[in-house]
Amino acid sequence: MRRLWFLPLAIASCQPDTADIPAGECPVVLWGQPGRARSSLSVRGSWDDWQAERPMRRFDETWFVATFSLEPGEYGYQVVEDGAGRTDATHGLTRFRRSDGLEVSYLRVHTCDAPRIESAAVTPEGPGALRLTLQTSEARTRAAIDPHAVRVLGHTATATIADDGLQIDVEGLDPGKHALDIELVDEEGARRVQSVDAWVQPRAERPEDQIIYQVMIDRFHGDDGAVLDPPPNPGARAGGTLGGITAKLRDGTFDRLPITTLWLSPVYVNPDEARAGTDGQMYEGYHGYWPVDSRGVDPRIGGEDAFVELLDEAHARGIRVLLDIVPNHVYETNPRYEEYSAIGGVHQHPQECVCGQPGCPWDQFIQTCWFVPYLPDLDFSAPGMLGLAVEDALWWQETFDLDGFRVDAVPMMPRAVTRRIAAGVREQVLDPAATFALGEIFTGPGTAGTEVLRYYLGPDALDSAFDFPLMWSLRTAIAHGGPGFDAVEAGLQHTERATEGSGATLGLMIGNHDVTRFLSEVVGDASLDPWGEVVPEQPQDADPYQKQALALGLVLTLPGAPVIYYGDEVGLAGARDPDCRRVMPADDALVPGQVELRTVAQTLTQARRCLPALRRGERTVLHASSDSWAFMRESGDDGPVLVVAHRGGEPETLALGEDVYPGAWRDLISGRTLVIDAQTELELPAWSLQVFVPAAHPCSP
């Protein structure tokens, strides 16, 4: 089916009759499914101030449809079933009604004076060549698009009409990211230029191909890659810059640890003064999460020029860049605080309501509490507030040619916020594969945490969320010696079932900037006070690093998008925030265990990039007990990967049985070759991970 103007849901192989809408007007098509047999459906909306209902006619045994026309603009609407209004179940985008703050479905009507690209799919067609398959809509005249008049400005291109859309073949493109300006022209001469984001030879073509590296800018490196001195106290600035990241791109750091995607901490201008946290300690805005200017890059980390330089350097290498954005709140001196307060856009309480403090528990006030008294929490049900959040994200996307966002504090906002931001960015870049929306949905362990993640995922929602339940279970099994790999496997299977059909690729990690460092959990000193005289030490012996290599290696071999928090590849120690945000150590300061851990991380990240099975392969569990775990990853004809993990201080053996292909296999980590058949009992060294590929495979060392 050809996608129509404002169709909230594409229904396969169907097209409603819009002949009753006169030429010169733009059709709106809304679909609906009744919840009860013999129900009637209609729609009502803000186009006439919620006055009249427009009947929906039965399209077939399942669907009702309404076709009508509207002037360009943004509207709210409801589907009405037997007199009761509700949001449109076929369409996940919503807004808040001005009159009473009720959440209703969202409809955007574009101008229709010329043909329009609704979406794009980009596929490689050889060196420097791409094929763009465009879903388009006609202008108000209903004139067909003239493929002979279609151009890609500044490039050699050929356009044809195909069964699956308008196809444009573009040649002569250099590796890297391109904004292709496409001019559509119809047979009446109406024309429109739109830009499609497209990649030539990206390191990650699909979400599951990604290896994401999280950088806290202030704590990573200074200009020219300078190693930073520790800050004068845990809450102070250390002096890291955007130029420090650019230097690491240039010196090959992200080639040796071949990441595909950089996730940068927020770059907003933050306040100069230190402020008291809820723990009574003084903190500076080194982290970026206190926006004083919602559209400004902090000059202390290099400003806009340094940000552009970093992005250009990354894109030239095929590396995507995700920016951490903070829609939930602003800093109290941000000019928007007064502006938002004047329109009711800030949550107010009879008395101070700071998240988690007495009288303001998280479970009751999560969407209205303030993190601290100087971070006003925004109320997106107020008129215009939701649209402003989307506009901010689009400004960052368009101004700096970003590749997506990590969205902070997702559960502290209505789900409509992240859905609208994700949808707005996808519409701007046109090819959904050119952007990635990763949500911070902080959860506890177990199945309850998975259900929280599930609520925010789906086709109209975030592309990804961090798999906190997996993180906690790996910490329990490896760092704490609690329930083991069988419990990890049970949790993974629950998550797979819960998120099936969502289209999401979860972010897998062993830690991030909000939790204690994995290594210190292994050592047992992560609970030390970050502000005390005694803090977790960097251990000298190899055992803790071996355990971290096991955990990090599993993250790099399981389905999903691995996320490496800066310093985890060298086993940086640290207690809770802010101690988990220590500066990146110099290479010559690393102890042998750290060097070995980094070697394992480099080996497995390189393997993941080389082996489609580790990125996209189906996973088959061969064995899962408390102390040992084996699974296979397979993808087409590329060859299988066998992953075997063991926890515990004593070696064991494991019979793999007949599910393993017989033959010579090589362990990517140790380099040893082993002939395996149904009778083989595989040796499992203490605290070990073995990642086997067929010995003749091109990715085998």
Alpha helices in 430-555 (DSSP H): 446-455, 468-474, 485-499, 518-523, 543-555
Q: What 8-state DSSP symbol labels residue 475?
A: I
Q: Is it true that 207-330+381-613 and 616-694 share their CATH fold?
A: no
With a pLDDT cut of 90, the percent of the chain lying above it is 88
Q: Say yes or no to pLDDT of 88 above 60.
A: yes
Distance between CA atoms of residues 537 and 155, nearest Å: 57
Q: Within 10 A of 497 (CB to CB), how many other CB atoms are there? A: 10
Provide the mean pLDDT of the chain: 93
For residues 294-318, give the mean pLDDT.
Answer: 98
Alpha helices in 220-332 (DSSP H): 242-250, 253-256, 303-316
Q: Given pLDDT bands bounded at 50, 70 and 90, which one contains residue 636?
A: confident
CA angle (471 as vertex; 469, 476 as ends), nearest 5: 95
What is 116-200's CATH topology? Immunoglobulin-like (2.60.40)
pLDDT one-digit tens code per residue, 95-128: 999 999 999 999 999 988 999 999 999 999 999 9
pLDDT at 283: 98
Q: Given pLDDT bands bounded at 50, 70 and 90, which one contains residue 64?
A: very high
Q: What phi and psi, each to the nearest 5 degrees, are found at residue 565?
A: -75, 130
pLDDT one-digit tens code per residue, 489-518: 999 999 999 999 999 999 999 999 999 999
Q: What 8-state DSSP symbol labels residue 174?
A: P
Distance between CA atoms of residues 509 and 468, nearest Å: 8
pLDDT at 637: 72
pLDDT at 1: 25
Distance between CA atoms of residues 438 and 403, nearest Å: 11
Q: Given pLDDT bands bounded at 50, 70 and 90, which one contains residue 658?
A: confident
pLDDT at 700: 74
Distance between CA atoms of residues 55 and 91, nearest Å: 18
Please report the beta strands in 497-580, taking only residues with DSSP state E, as ranges in sequence order: 507-508, 561-565
Q: Where are the domains of the chain?
A: 27-109, 116-200, 207-330+381-613, 616-694
Dihedral sign, CA of 237, 242, 248, 253? positive
Helix (H, G, I), strand (E, B) or coil at 282: strand
Q: Which of 149-153, 227-231, 312-316, 655-659 has the lowest mean pLDDT?
A: 655-659
Task: Give yes or no for a contact between 4 and 39, defined as CB atoms under 8 angstroms apart.
Answer: no
Exposed, middle or buried, 84 (CB in 10 Å: 0-12/13-18/19+)?
exposed
pLDDT at 36: 81
Task: Give yes or no for a contact between 118 and 29, defined as CB atoms under 8 angstroms apart.
Answer: no
pLDDT at 19: 56
pLDDT one-digit tens code per residue, 3-56: 233 334 333 335 566 556 666 677 899 999 898 877 889 999 999 999 999 999
- How many residues comprise the chain? 701
pLDDT at 699: 85
What the block records as the tokens of 141 is: 């005249």
Q: Which residue has the higher pLDDT, 163 or 469?
A: 469
Q: Say yes or no to pLDDT of 573 above 50.
A: yes
Tell me the one-letter amino acid at 559: P
Q: Say yes or no to pLDDT of 61 above 90.
A: no
With a pLDDT cut of 70, the percent of the chain lying above it is 96
The secondary structure of 630-694 as a DSSP string is EEEEE-TTS--EEEEEE-SSS-EEEE-GGGSPPEEEEETTT--EEEE-TT-EEEE-TTEEEEEEE
For residues 559-574, give the mean pLDDT.
Answer: 98
Helix (H, G, I), strand (E, B) or coil at 442: coil
pLDDT one-digit tens code per residue, 218-276: 999 999 999 999 999 999 999 999 999 999 999 999 999 999 999 999 999 999 999 99
Distance between CA atoms of residues 549 and 555, nearest Å: 10
What the block records as the tokens of 308 is: 């552009």
For residues 677-681, give the mean pLDDT.
Answer: 85
Q: What phi and psi, each to the nearest 5 degrees, are found at residue 297?
A: -90, 130
Q: CATH: 3.40.50.720, 1.10.3720.10, 2.60.40.1180, 1.10.760.10. Which one for 616-694?
A: 2.60.40.1180
pLDDT at 12: 34
**Architecture of the CATH domain 207-330+381-613:** Alpha-Beta Barrel (3.20)
For residues 157-185, give the mean pLDDT.
Answer: 95
CATH number belonging to domain 27-109: 2.60.40.10
